[in-house]
């Protein structure tokens, strides 16, 4: 079905691209309050999903440590802003700090495989949280850290953060597109298919994974800096929130890990579903999302986009059942 889009004339492709962008630009001028804050949250999660997809989707290295670099970005930005540094410079420097940390820890943990790598990234995230919790004079420790308030009315703040997140989402998506079409992207895909074979072909897999890890960490921390500025107050539990990591992984897997549009589709869909579940079934929120993730891994391991974009046959209930059955038989343990 993807061939239908490739067959479109360039002018129609640009129109299809321009329409959602125009909608997103005009959105906060038409709606106000909660709808704008919800859209901002969705855009942020889509951006995080795109970033996680660089290593987790392209290379197949599933990391649970995203929350660690979200916390580094949030605290780094907050501490620097309280020192009187501009928010954008603070975000950039926090991103650089995260990149340095990723470079230091990347070489040892990226040599680990599958489950060992996941556990290692999770452990690193908790170590970073404990460091932030115990640096009382710098981060405020368990008492938390207040950031300078944005000197605007509430509606102005909502619109400002919305456009800031949207701009960063567009930049990150462009970066991911460039990576996917570069030698780095091809190398990461080779690692996902067969890392040993990639080594034999002369691909320095450790370097490729390290570069992807560093880029991802920098981008995550930068976005997290704006997130902290939006919250105006952070503490170790909110900045290093493991639920965010799980939610981001769920979004990417449901949409389609390793694709460019998958994190966008999954980010929007799971954000809306999560909001509905959280509003009506608070106690079952995590359990339902966990079931969604498990069902996706078992029955649709290539994500939702695989059903709509990468299959020639028309999607019907019959073909959907066929795809689910084939995936279950192919990937079950």
As a dihedral over the C-alpha atoms of residue 160, residue 65, residue 212, residue 104, rounded to 10 degrees, the angle is 110
- Residue 22 domain-assigned (yes or no): no
- Residue 90 domain-assigned (yes or no): yes
Residue 6 has pLDDT above 80, yes or no: no
- Residue 204 domain-assigned (yes or no): yes
| pLDDT at 324 (0 to 100) | 67
Long-range contacts of 322-326 (CB under 8 A, 24+ apart): 324/299, 324/300
Across the range 302-322, mean pLDDT stands at: 67
- Residue 274 domain-assigned (yes or no): yes
- Residue 23 domain-assigned (yes or no): no
> 103-126: per-residue pLDDT in tens?
999 888 888 876 788 889 989 999
> 247-284: per-residue pLDDT in tens?
898 899 888 888 888 899 989 988 888 887 777 766 67
Task: Provide the 10 A C-beta neighbour count for residue 315.
Answer: 12
Domain ranges, residue 182: 35-285
> 126-143: per-residue pLDDT in tens?
999 999 999 888 988 888
> 20-59: per-residue pLDDT in tens?
888 888 888 888 888 999 999 999 999 999 999 999 989 8
- Residue 323 domain-assigned (yes or no): no
Integer CA distances (angstroms), 129 to 55, 73, 95, 123, 283, in order: 22, 12, 17, 10, 25
What's the CA gap between 279 and 87, in Å, rounded? 33
Across the range 161-184, mean pLDDT stands at: 93
| pLDDT at 198 (0 to 100) | 86
Please name which of 64, 90, 68 lies closest in space to residue 79, comparing C-alpha atoms: 90
What's the CA gap between 14 and 332, in Å, rounded? 41
- Residue 6 domain-assigned (yes or no): no
What are the phi and psi torsion angles at 234 (to 5°)?
Answer: -135, 155
Across the range 155-173, mean pLDDT stands at: 93
Hey, what are 204's tokens? Answer: 């320095």
What's the CA gap between 200 and 203, in Å, rounded? 7
The pLDDT-based confidence of 168 (bands split at 50, 70, 90) is very high
pTM of the full structure:
0.87
- Residue 89 domain-assigned (yes or no): yes
| pLDDT at 3 (0 to 100) | 47
Across the range 14-23, mean pLDDT stands at: 78
Mean pLDDT of all residues in the chain? 85
| pLDDT at 10 (0 to 100) | 62
Q: How many percent of the chain have pLDDT more than 70? A: 86
Domain count, the chain: 1
CATH number, domain with residue 161: 1.10.3470
> 66-97: per-residue pLDDT in tens?
889 999 999 999 999 999 999 999 999 999 99
| pLDDT at 2 (0 to 100) | 47
DSSP code, position 253: H
């Amino acid at each position: 079905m993807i061939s239908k889009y490739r067959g479109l004339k360039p002018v129609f492709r640009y129109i299809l691209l321009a329409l959602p962008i125009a909608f997103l630009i005009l959105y906060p001028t038409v709606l106000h309050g909660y709808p704008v804050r919800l859209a901002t949250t969705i855009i942020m999660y889509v951006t995080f999903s795109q970033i996680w997809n660089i290593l987790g989707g392209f290379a197949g290295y599933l990391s649970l440590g995203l929350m660690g670099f979200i916390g580094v970005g949030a605290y780094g930005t907050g501490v620097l802003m309280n020192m009187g540094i501009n928010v954008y410079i603070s975000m950039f420097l926090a991103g650089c700090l995260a990149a340095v940390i990723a470079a230091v820890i990347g070489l040892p943990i990226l040599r680990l495989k599958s489950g060992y790598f996941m556990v290692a990234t999770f452990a690193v995230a908790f170590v970073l949280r404990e460091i932030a919790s115990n640096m009382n004079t710098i981060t405020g420790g368990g008492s938390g850290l207040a950031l300078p308030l944005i000197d605007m009315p509430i509606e102005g703040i909502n619109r400002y953060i919305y456009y800031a997140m949207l701009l960063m989402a567009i930049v990150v998506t462009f970066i991911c597109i460039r990576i996917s079409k570069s030698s780095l992207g091809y190398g990461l895909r080779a690692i996902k298919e067969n890392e040993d074979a990639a080594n034999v072909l002369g691909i320095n897999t450790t370097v490729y994974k390290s570069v992807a890890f560093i880029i991802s960490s920098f981008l995550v921390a930068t976005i997290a800096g704006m997130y902290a500025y939006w919250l105006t107050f952070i503490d170790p539990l909110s900045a290093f929130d493991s639920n965010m990591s799980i939610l981001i992984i769920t979004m990417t897997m449901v949409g389609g890990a390793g694709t460019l549009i998958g994190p966008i589709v999954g980010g929007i869909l799971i954000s809306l579903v999560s909001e509905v579940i959280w509003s009506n079934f608070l106690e079952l929120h995590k359990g339902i999302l966990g079931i969604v993730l498990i069902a996706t891994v078992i029955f649709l391991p290539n994500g939702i986009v695989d059903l709509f974009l990468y299959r020639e046959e028309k999607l019907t209930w019959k073909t959907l059942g066929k795809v689910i059955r084939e995936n279950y038989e192919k990937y079950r343990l």
